[in-house]
Structure 1
Amino acid sequence: MLYPWQQTLWQNWQLLLGQKRLHHAVLLLAEKGSGREVLAKQLARTVLCQNCDTEPCGVCHSCKLFEAETHPDFHYVAPVEEGKQIGVDTIRQCNRWAVETSQLGGQRVILIDHADSLGEAAANALLKTLEEPPADCQFILTAQSLDNMLPTINSRCNKWRLTMPNEDDTKRWVEQQMMQSIKLEAVRLNSGAPLATLQFVEQGQDIRHGNLIEAFTAFIQPPFTGIYEVAGLCTSEGRASLKWLSYFLVDCIKYQQGVSNCFVHSESLNKVQAVAAAVNLAVLLSQVRKVNELHRQLEMHSGLNEELLIVEWLTGFISHG
């Protein structure tokens, strides 16, 4: 079942499918939390369907196998875990699948999710197959952006960008799913992505985010007590907490610069104002840069003493207080 914000792009694909003009390699660019895998699998299911050209019939042998996740001509590839690369051996296996005979006598589909996680060797291995595509083989690639993708891969694909709904529509959709009202800042903290926002609220991250911002605001006021409470809240939440604090400090900078709207923390402006009044601009700029660096450091290296590094970063506010 597709999401409302996917319908326009899907209708464009249906038009091409009906005209048998769909490119052999489709690259879907979509934000995390947009449900892009659902859309990509809908395309795969349709390409494999034995009865219909523009939507899966749901009743043929192919559709039944797809639903049971046992379709012999559908191959799904993704990183083993988030942040890891897709290795060259995995792509070599894709290339073998691409030239195999279809077991159901129809198309073969290879879906590479997080194609922006392809290592250079893996991307080069895929390139040759995309340049000389085997007959009746459909490649579907998904990625968050083109930034980490080889230009040569980009140029061999037909690119489609999934547009996110505006933040009011996202807020309304999440509220309908949960049957409760949510804060606009929950949407903004998740870049407007509906599924990411839904998960954020469902998992209680909105409450933990609020607790962290409250503790951080209290810590910033002299005599700077509560440093270990803030560090503890950050550590228990993980790297996401550092992104929240980065967004919050950027809001403080905006407030100091006289910006009157576009705040991520739209419902926590009293806390933004309190911190903006207590910390000068140079410190805010320095601490934003350092917290972003810390986030990258923790992302790249496991086994670091997270709490110690966060306490060290927080002391940057005290030493300039």
Structure 2
Amino acid sequence: MLYPWQESLWQQWQQLLDQERLHHAILLLAPAGSGREALARQLSKTLLCSNGVTEPCGVCHSCRLFEAGNHPDYHQVAPEQAGKQIGVDTIRKCTRLAVETSQLGGQRIMQIDFADAMGEAAANALLKTLEEPPAGCQFILMAEALDKLLPTINSRCNKWRLAMPDEQDTRRWVGRQLMQDVKLEIVRINGCAPLATQAFIEQGQDIRYGNLLSAFAAFLQPPHLGLQELVGMFAKEGHHSLSWVSYFLVDCLKLQQGAGSFLVHSESLPLVQQAAAAVTSPLLMNQIRKANALHRQLDTHTGLNTELLIMDWLMGFMPQPKL
């Protein structure tokens, strides 16, 4: 089942299917929480279907096997753990399967989720197969952005970008799913991705996020009390909380520069005003850069002392002792 914001792209794929012009390697660029998996599954099911050309029939043996989750010609590759790389051995197994004969006499599908999580060796192992694709084999790669993929992989794929609905459409869609009002700032910090926004609220992150912002804005006021408690809140939410606070600090900078009508945190204006009055623009810009760099560091390297690094960053807001 597709989501409303996926219909336009799906119709374009259907036209290519009808004309037998679909590229052997599709690269779907879409953020997490966009429902991109549903779109990839719809394409896979259609290609594997014994009767359909642009839609799966839903009743043939292939469709029933696919829905049961045990279709022998559908192969899905993903990191073994969230945030980990896809190893070269996993990709080599995928490429071996790609050249095998279809068990049902139809297409073979190699779906690579989080293709941007392939290491260089894994990407190079895939490259030769993409350059010389086996007959009857369709590759479907999914990634958030191009910058983490090798240019050689990019050049061998037909790239498609899934557009997110605008913030008001996302707000209304999530509101209907949850039967409640949804704050625009929650939609915005989730990049307008509907499923990410929905999950954010269902898991109570919106409440914890609000508590974190309140504690952070209070900490920015002299004499900067509550450091240990704030570090604990950041650590509990994980390093992604740094990106949330980065949005907040950018809003403080916007307010200082007279761009208050372009705030992400439109419903938390008092907190933005409070923080913007307490921190100078040069310090804000410096701490925003450091927060983004720290987020990338923690996202890339596991095993670091998150609490210690976040505490060091927070202490950057406090007056430094004179020598």
Counterpart Cα distance in 1 of 2:70 and 2:94: 17
The total of aligned residue pairs comes to: 321
SS at match of 2:318: helix
Specify the code of the residue in structure 1 equivalent to 2:214: E
The answer for the alignment partner of 2:234 in structure 1 is 234
Q: Bigger CA drift: 226-235 or 160-169?
A: 226-235
Deviation at 1:270, TM superposition (A): 1.0
Instruction: Give the equivalent residue in structure 2 for 1:173.
Output: 173
Aligned equivalent of 2:153: 153
Q: How many Å separate the matches in 1 of 2:311 and 2:117?
A: 32
CA deviation vs aligned residue, 1:120-147 (integer Å, no higher than 9, x gap): 2221221111111111111111111111
Answer whether contact 1:217 1:275 (CA < 8 A) is retained. yes
TM score, norm. by length of structure 1:
0.96
2:283 maps to which residue?
A: 283
Say what the alpha-carbon RMSD is for the aligned residues: 1.4
- Counterpart of 2:311? 311
Partner of 2:138: 138
Counting only pairs closer than 5 Å after superposition, residues 247-262 of structure 1 correspond to structure 2 as: 247-262=247-262
Give, in angstroms, the shift of residue 29 of structure 1.
0.8
Q: Which runs of 5 or more structure 2 residues have no equivalent in the other structure?
A: none
Superposed CA offset, 1:125-180 (max 9, x none): 21111111111111111111111112221121111111110010000000000000
- Displacement of 1:58 after TM fit? 1.0
Aligned equivalent of 1:245: 245
Kindly indicate whether residue 295 of structure 2 is the aligned counterpart of residue 295 of structure 1: yes
In the other structure, the counterpart of 2:203 is 203
2:239, 2:306 within 8 Å by CA — same for their partners in 1?
no
Q: In the alignment, residue 277 of structure 1 is paired with which amino acid?
A: A
Counterpart secondary structure, 2:33: coil
CA-to-aligned-CA distance 1:162-203 (integer Å, 9 cap, x gap)? 111001000000000000001000001111111110101111
Residue of structure 2 in register with 1:90 after alignment: 90
TM-score, scaled to structure 2? 0.96
Distance 1:125 1:303, change over 3 A: closer
Correspondence 1:44-83 to 2 at 5 A: 44-83=44-83
* Higher mean C-alpha displacement, 222-231 vs 297-306: 297-306
Gaps of at least 5 residues in structure 1 are none
How far apart in 1 are the matches of 2:306 and 2:117? 25
Q: 1: CA distance between counterparts of 2:158 and 2:45? A: 19
1:77 to 1:268, Cα distance in 2 relative to 1, 3 A: same
